[in-house]
Chains A and B, each alone.
Chain A
Amino acid sequence: MRAILNTRLLLWKRQKGMLLFWMLLPIILTFSIIMLISTTQGNAKIPVGIVLQEQTDYTDRLLKELSNTSSLQVEIMTEEEALHQLEIHKLDSAFIIKEGYTEKILKGSRNRLITGIRSDLSFGYIPVSEAIQAIIQQDTGRIKAAFTVQQLSKEYDSPSIWTMNEIVEKSKEIEKQENLLQTSFSFTRTKASSGENKSSLVNPWGIWAIFSFLSTLLLFDWLIKEKNSSIYKRFTFTKYSFKMYAIQNSIIYLSLFLLFDFISISLFTIFLNQPTSLTFIISLVMLRLTLIMAAFTLALSFKNVYLYYVFSFTLSLIMAITSGSIVPLDRLPEKISVISSLHPLQPFLHNKIGFFWFILLSVIVMFWYGRKGKFDANY
């Protein structure tokens, strides 16, 4: 193995730029696409102006909740500024949090707390005002509940009297612990979706898998080039047959790919907050083995390297479309179970360990290894 590694290092010395480019391509393109999507989403946010006539914990909470809404771009400004920006359509709508907001909330009153202003081109006014109403309702609901708890304590002469703040804080704590607002819905007789592992538009591993598929295929062009080159004949008279040379080189490529895969895991975990588990790592290693086997068998079956490139790009495009990782086709693979079960990337995209292609390709490679070579007299 060391001898073959040395020969490969001699070859890599001449192609280190290209090698590094294709190895890093899946990582670079995944980051680029994710950033592009984030920027596009940022640009598509509804601009909303907020005018604060008073500032308390309650107005701060309202502002924080609105700012956390992914589809809104919230800006604090004066009333004049808000009106001007609405006039020139720089704002979709504006909301004035009036003086006395907190007092009214504490009294449980939900009327005339906020004034909403919109222009004839506003399209986000209704959903934003509904979001504000929901937040106010939540706050007033909490206050009302706190009043009721205090009154009950008085009526039944409870030994410990809780303050309003204590009750409100406790209710927030219970809300967090119980996770009351998160639940799964499903149709009768269908399995509830957990919301995890879905191959969506912004699934970094989905994007990575497609480009990794392409780069693996393209980097295996060495097999076609070396199989077709004049040096092929020399393998009859060397310690290693071409078959052994090709297999050992594939193992070297596998090791290099795995190194870059682990770099990908580290980068995606740090910068894209992607969760990692042992199952995921095994699934990724299995995907890598399958990709290497696929590239190996495909490269063996091609004589013309340019045809192989065209085929690799076409196959990667088909993989991208049918996987739903880059182009979501209403979760096509889940609807057509055949595609789902045969698609080589699906097990990885669903955090599962796929064996089908690995076993099939292993059988093909073993069959190829057992066959008589081109320059090998079979006595």
Chain B
Amino acid sequence: MLTIDSLSKSYGKKQILNNISLSIEKGEIIGLVGENGAGKSTLIQLLATIDKPTSGSIILGESNYARHKKEIRKQIGFVPQELALWEEFTVKENMLFFEKLSWIRKSTGELKQLCLDMSLDKWDEPVHTLSGGMKRKLNLAISLIHDPPLLLLDEPTVGIDLKSRKEIGNYLQLQAKEHGKIVIYISHDMDEITSLCDRVVCIGEDPFYEEILAKTGTELIVF
């Protein structure tokens, strides 16, 4: 379980996040929406221990972020918006490279299976020859090497084809429902958000999101 309590973040006099409180259960997929600059990425960065809140606390399981930063990081799978890959490496070499740096050891077979689970079958192809969708899948696969219980995804499907988007969505649902992972997901694609997420958190009041989500019946939490 992830508990966010009275979380605020400001840069100087500019308040970005104000008093956010939220509890997320295992197996839940949470969508993060809001206008550009509303604070979605800031919230993801706080949850990813990349930045520190001005006030408030975050607790993952039994561990408090302020006291167990190292332990928390082992439990986070962070998928950055940009592709964090070695373009000149093959898919296999990328997976092996990050497996060596990972907290846990995995065999080449296990790494290959991880890729296959999300329909990434170009194991020996150099990354620069892959389609955008394949690259996004690899970007996600690398973040999952150490089996993290909390997945933080910053627009993981931006600019890719519908088929790849669907495959990534299905994989994330499988991870949440069958493996009990918590998935927090930033996206501007409302179809994707409504079909994938259990609840949606909107940073900043916006009637646009409220209207769309009211139609689909997805629970909306506004901060």
Q: Which residues of A contact B (CB under 8 A)?
A: 3-4, 6-7, 10-11, 14, 230-240, 245, 375-379
Chain B positions 37-57 with a Cβ under 8 Å from a chain A Cβ: 46, 48-52
Which residues of A lie under 8 Å from residue B80 when comparing CB positions?
Answer: 230, 233-234
Q: Which residue of A lies closest to B86 (CB)?
A: A231
State the CA gap A238–B98 with chains docked (Å). 8
State the CA gap A235–B48 with chains docked (Å). 12
Binary contact track B194-206/A, C-beta < 8 Å → 1, others 0 = 0000000000000
Binary contact track B84-120/A, C-beta < 8 Å → 1, others 0 = 1110110001001110111100000000000000000
Contact check, A236 vs B85: say whether CB atoms are below 8 A apart: no
State the CA gap A379–B142 with chains docked (Å). 27
Which residues of A lie under 8 Å from residue B96 when comparing CB positions?
Answer: 6, 10
* Given A236-B73, A377-B52; A230-B100 close (CB under 8 Å): no
B4 sits at the interface (CB 8 A)? no
What is the distance, in angstroms, from A194's C-beta to the closest C-beta of chain B?
52
Contact check, B77 vs A230: say whether CB atoms are below 8 A apart: no
Cβ-defined partner of A239 (8 Å) among B50, B67, B86, B103: B103
Contact check, B102 vs A377: say whether CB atoms are below 8 A apart: no
* Given A10-B97, A377-B52; A237-B143 close (CB under 8 Å): yes
Which residues of B lie under 8 Å from residue A230 when comparing CB positions?
Answer: 80, 82-85
Cβ-defined partner of B69 (8 Å) among A7, A231, A377: A377
Which residues of A lie under 8 Å from residue B143 when comparing CB positions?
Answer: 234, 237
What is the distance, in angstroms, from B34's C-beta to the closest C-beta of chain A?
22
Q: Which residue of B lies closest to A379 (CB)?
A: B66
B65 sits at the interface (CB 8 A)? yes
Which residues of B lie under 8 Å from residue A379 when comparing CB positions?
Answer: 52, 65-67, 69
B138 sits at the interface (CB 8 A)? no
Which residues of A lie under 8 Å from residue B102 when comparing CB positions?
Answer: 238-239
State the CA gap A245–B73 with chains docked (Å). 17
15 new A-B contacts, CB < 8 A, other than A3-B100, A10-B89, A230-B82, are A4-B100, A7-B97, A10-B93, A14-B89, A230-B84, A231-B85, A233-B78, A234-B101, A234-B143, A236-B50, A237-B76, A237-B148, A376-B50, A379-B65, A379-B67
Contact check, A240 vs B101: say whether CB atoms are below 8 A apart: yes
What is the distance, in angstroms, from A209's C-beta to the closest C-beta of chain B?
33
Cβ-defined partner of B49 (8 Å) among A3, A14, A234, A236: A236
Cβ-defined partner of A377 (8 Å) among B51, B82, B83, B85: B51
Which residues of B lie under 8 Å from residue A3 when comparing CB positions?
Answer: 100-101
Contact check, A236 vs B66: say whether CB atoms are below 8 A apart: no
Contact check, A7 vs B84: say whether CB atoms are below 8 A apart: no
Chain B positions 107-163 with a Cβ under 8 Å from a chain A Cβ: 142-143, 146, 148
The 3 closest A-B pairs by CB, nearest first: A238-B101, A377-B52, A3-B100
State the CA gap A62–B87 with chains docked (Å). 71
Contact check, B52 vs A7: say whether CB atoms are below 8 A apart: no
Which residues of B lie under 8 Å from residue A239 when comparing CB positions?
Answer: 101-103
* Given A10-B89, A230-B83, A376-B50; A245-B101 close (CB under 8 Å): yes
Contact check, A234 vs B142: say whether CB atoms are below 8 A apart: yes
25 CB < 8 A contacts A-B = A3-B101, A6-B100, A7-B100, A10-B96, A10-B97, A230-B84, A231-B85, A233-B80, A234-B84, A234-B101, A234-B143, A235-B101, A236-B48, A236-B49, A236-B73, A237-B78, A237-B148, A238-B98, A238-B102, A375-B50, A377-B50, A377-B51, A377-B52, A379-B52, A379-B67
Contact check, B73 vs A237: say whether CB atoms are below 8 A apart: yes
State the CA gap A104–B46 with chains docked (Å). 103
State the CA gap A377–B73 with chains docked (Å). 11
What is the distance, in angstroms, from B52's C-beta to the closest C-beta of chain A?
4
Which residues of A lie under 8 Å from residue B93 when comparing CB positions?
Answer: 10
Which residues of B lie under 8 Å from residue A7 when comparing CB positions?
Answer: 97, 100-101
Which residues of B lie under 8 Å from residue A14 when comparing CB positions?
Answer: 88-89
Which residues of B lie under 8 Å from residue A233 when comparing CB positions?
Answer: 50, 78, 80, 84
What is the distance, in angstroms, from A8's C-beta to the closest C-beta of chain B?
10
Q: Which residue of A3, A230, A375 has the most chain B CB atoms within 10 A of its CB atom?
A: A230
State the CA gap A121–B50 with chains docked (Å). 81
Which residues of B lie under 8 Å from residue A238 when comparing CB positions?
Answer: 98, 101-103
What is the distance, in angstroms, from B151's C-beta to the closest C-beta of chain A?
11
Q: Which residue of A lies closest to B146 (CB)?
A: A237
State the CA gap A24–B106 with chains docked (Å). 37
Which residues of A lie under 8 Å from residue B146 when comparing CB positions?
Answer: 237
* Given A10-B97, A379-B52; A236-B103 close (CB under 8 Å): no
Which residues of A lie under 8 Å from residue B65 when comparing CB positions?
Answer: 379
What is the distance, in angstroms, from B84's C-beta to the closest C-beta of chain A?
4
Contact check, B78 vs A236: say whether CB atoms are below 8 A apart: yes
State the CA gap A324–B78 with chains docked (Å). 53
